A = this chain, B = another copy of it.
């Protein structure tokens, strides 16, 4: 399968904001931000990054692929854990520098590597002038030790 080629973004702001060609605006690192929600109930599951290849693979295969900044490579989400993401809808924002994936999660229905459903399992609140984190979801859908061996 040959990879999709994305056309260059228009310099005309109104063209960027209209219907027509999808011309993603990758940043100076060649990345675009991807926001991932559950297609069923809309819960925010994770935020990740894609390069052009990961975005093309996601659009062409219907399974979410990302670019790992720490590992410097394409990453098919759920390849190890089984928690693959089937993409039900893709949207982009007004200036085409972010995309939103609505997905169905397979496997344990867990997106976070800690075994939780969502990576956003903690709230931030100010206590005695300090920003503090509280865990509001501690249900583990899998044991990371079993899956990742670490």
Residues of A participating in the B interface, judged by any CB pair closer than 8 Å: 4, 6, 17-22, 33, 35, 37, 42-44, 46-47, 59-60, 89-94, 98-100, 112-114, 119-126, 129-135
Once the chains bind, are B93 and A47 in contact (CB under 8 Å)? yes
Known A35-B44, A35-B47, A123-B90: A133·B99 in contact at CB below 8 Å = no
Q: Which residues of B contact A133 (CB under 8 A)?
A: 18-22, 92
User: Taking the nearest CB of chain B, how far is it from the CB of A78, in angstroms?
Assistant: 16
> CA separation between A9 and B60, bound complex, in Å?
37
Also in contact, A92 and B59, with CB within 8 A (given A47-B35, A133-B22): no
Prevailing SS type, chain A contact patch = strand
Give, as a whole number of angstroms, the nearest-CB distance from A10 to chain B.
12
A122 touches B19 (CB 8 A): yes
Taking each of A37, A91, A113, A126, which has the highest tally of chain B beta carbons within 10 Å of its own beta carbon?
A91
Chain B residues with CB under 8 A of A20? 132-133
Could you list some 14 contacts between A and B, CB below 8 A? A4-B126, A6-B131, A18-B133, A22-B132, A33-B47, A35-B44, A47-B93, A47-B98, A59-B124, A90-B125, A91-B121, A92-B133, A93-B112, A93-B119
